[in-house]
Structure 1
Amino acid sequence: MAISQFMAAINQIVDEKGIDKKIVIEALESAIGAAYRKDYGKPRQRIKAVIDNETGNFEIIRIFEVIENDVEMENEEAQIFLKDAKKKKKGIKVGDEITKKLPYHNEFGRIAAQTSKQVIIQRLREAERDIVLEEFKQKEGELISATIQQIEGKNIIINLGKTNGLMPGSEQIPGEYYRIGQRMRVLIKNVEDTVRGPKIILSRSDEKFIIELFKLEVPEVQSEAIDIKAIAREAGSRTKIAVATKEESLDPVGSCVGQKGARIQAILAEIGQEKIDIILWDDDPKNLIVNSMSPAEIEKVKLSNKEKRATVIVPEDQLSLAIGKNGQNVRLASRISGYEIDIPKDNIKSKKKEIPVTQKPEAKETELKKLSDKNKQKKVFTKDKAEKKEK
């Protein structure tokens, strides 16, 4: 093979695989060294090719490790005593390496050629895997658009370009329908290095999926002018999200909704029939609980800060709204506020038998980073409401 063709082939591999040229050349050097050792050397010898990056020419060298004079030599094919090494190179120390140039050969047998090929394939495969792992590790927690490639039972295989990702059943939105070839947004939840290569777990049910959608559709959230203080989500059903801002002229709830509901409508279009409650964060736990119980109206809140417990008094006609379907509203409110919320039956005047509702917080709230506006504002959105607002 002519020199220009050899280097052209290397450059082609670099372009196609996206691998650093240095890594490709190192793989070739190891492969040529393995082939040379197979045909012209001995099994325990350390033989390597050194390729000129400019011309593509290479020479073959044998490598020796320098060891102490008074130790037992473990591999005479790859080790040399210090006294002998100093005869060849002055100033050399124990642990250094000394090389010896070997006769040039460029014809190898079938087995040696096959060995060389396997070495190259393995090295390039490892390099590709490392590149993919590093690339997606940096994207962990971000949204990407991808295409469904395969559906295996409850698991969905998604084509990410350079590799595939997995969205297990637990990371899917309940009730959502998926089909092969469908393009959608997914959250890169977790990236792990395994024996079989990078394992990329994708999600649409994670709370961070909603946060990233708001960053995408609401510039003020992306720029951190609006801070998402806490979020509680039951995927496919309802999400409560608490927002705040330091800027007095900025309405955090209104900004998230957008003009005529355009921003929230774009978010709802991505998650189907799931409802979103956008509430104003308040540093006062009482006010925060009142806001988080939206859309129900609250008469009174009694707090026990030591036990992180709150007793909420609601009018009789607001009881069902306060509790929510299967206790969902009070459950999400607990997770937003971080308080265990009680709605005792003794405080509700009704002839009907009432059942006390107690709900403990089930998820950690987002860390407080910014002060909030003290004005109460509550917004509840569904896809249908957002579309009507648009009209």
Structure 2
Amino acid sequence: MNTEFLEALKDLEREKGIAVDVLLEAIEAALLSAYKRNFGSLQNARVHIDRETGEFKVYTQRTVSEHVEDPRQEIDIKEARAINPNYAPGDIVESEVTPRDFGRIAAQTAKQVVVQRIREAERNIIYEEFANREGDIVTGIVQRVEQKNVYIELGKTEAILAPSEQIPGEEYRQGDRIKTYIVEVRKTTKGPQILVSRTHPGLLKRLLEMEVPELQEGIVELKGIAREAGARSKIAVYSKDENVDPVGACVGPKGMRVQNIVSELNGEKIDIIKWNPDPSKFVASSLSPAKVIAVEIWEEEKVARVIVPDYQLSLAIGKEGQNARLAAKLTGWKIDIKSETQMREIYPEEYNELFSDEYE
């Protein structure tokens, strides 16, 4: 090792952000292990690399003792004071024992340590970068599909899209460019493991924020999302500014904003409704596109009974109950949907007392 080696380490410090002292300390530790392994030394020892010249030396370390029991670990006080009269019991005496042919081992060991530390530093940089982006969207390229897991290239690393995080029916082909949501970043011995999702409600939230400037600016608030990935989603939005239509802002001119999101999610239907502090009106809106005649609320039980026209019953419930299920998830209310006929037959008195005003 020489000054050129030290200069190379300084270059690495500038490029990779790995401190020279950290590298040298790691190399010293590795050289000590190599010395003990290759020369069968059982003595205490230390390796020192000169920070100016790059020269390395190996020193044995023995403790000064008045009664030596293990000559490999201890040195008699008389022998120690022959070296330096100031030595006292308990002091450490060092003697250089650098092997003549240790240079080749040292060079090889140093190279291995540097390569390993560079790899670790790069992994840490990638981990920090993506750990700070949990809950954000990333765009990557599909590299391969193995055992139903989709591996997506994200620059210098890759993310894993597990089967449970894939949109049902969506196909992923090598070379496809897709957007995913970072769910979790784990630190592993092989580097950071980035877990992403296409089904997480956060993906829809971030896509909306990218498309709708009013959301980024805080003019429009996102009050809730209920999503069944690949099929349908419901979004509740609100604005304190009476002059701003929150639904219109999300839909965009000629529906372009919401259409861009629908395209990104491969045709997933998106219902955007206006949030209302009045739970009966909010529940009524949440069942869109179905029309609602009346809503009864039981605050303590968090139950809402919704009455719809007979011809709207199947639309309100939705295919396999999807519309009602998403509305309940969005509002946080348990929703019981009844048609006019059902209400008249089951609860005739209550039906007569209810207003017939339509809820918008």
Residue number in structure 2 paired with 1:188: 182
Q: CA deviation at 1:217?
A: 1.4
Change over 3 Å in CA distance of 1:10–1:282 after alignment to 2: same
1:55-204 to 2 correspondences below 5 Å? 55=52, 57-60=54-57, 77=73, 102=96, 108=102, 114-204=108-198
Give the CA deviation at 1:333.
Answer: 0.1
Which structure 2 residue ranges, 5 or more long, are not aligned? 75-79, 346-358
Distance 1:332 1:57, change over 3 A: same
State the AA in 1 paired with 2:3. Answer: I
Deviates more, 1:23-32 or 1:264-273: 23-32
Whether the 8 Å CA contact 1:239–1:274 is kept in 2: the answer is yes
Residues 1:65 and 1:339: Cα distance change in structure 2 (over 3 Å): farther
TM-aligned CA distance change 1:265 to 1:216, over 3 Å: same
One-letter code aligned to 1:10: L
How far has the Cα of 1:286 moved from its partner? 0.7
Q: Structure 1 length as normaliser, TM-score?
A: 0.73
Aligned counterparts of 1:65 and 1:322: Cα–Cα separation in 2:
86
State which drifts further: 217-226 or 174-183: 217-226
CA displacement at 1:237 relative to structure 2: 0.7
Q: Within the alignment, does 1:322 sit opposite 2:330 as a pair? A: no
Q: Which has the higher contact order (CA 8 A, sep 6+)?
A: 1
Residue 152 of structure 2 aligns to a residue in which SS?
strand
Deviates more, 1:125-134 or 1:195-204: 125-134
Deviation of residue 9 (structure 1)? 2.7
AA matched with 1:174:
P
Deviations 1:29-62 (A, max 9, x none): 433444455567935635243452xx56355476
CA contact (8 A) 1:241 1:276 kept: yes
Match of 1:344, SS? strand
Match of 2:283 in 1: 289
Structure 1: tracts of 5 or more residues without a match: 79-83, 352-375, 378-391
Cα shift at 1:256:
1.2
Aligned amino acid, residue 297 of structure 2: L
**Cα distance in 1, alignment partners of residues 100 and 261 from structure 2:** 62
Q: Please provide the CA RMSD for this pair.
A: 3.7
- Give the CA deviation at 1:130: 2.6
Q: State the percentage of identical aligned residues.
A: 42
Please identify the structure whose Cα radius of gyration is greater. 2
Distance 1:218 1:187 in 2: 18
CA separation of 1:334 and 1:77: change in aligned 2, threshold 3 A: farther
- Residue 339 of structure 2 corresponds to residue 340 of structure 1: no
Mapped to 1, the partners of 2:7 and 2:43 lie a distance apart of 33
Are positions 1:3 and 2:36 aligned together? no
Residue of structure 1 equivalent to 2:352: none
Task: Tell me the distance in 1 between the aligned counterparts of 2:86 and 2:233.
Answer: 75
Structure 2-normalised TM-score? 0.78
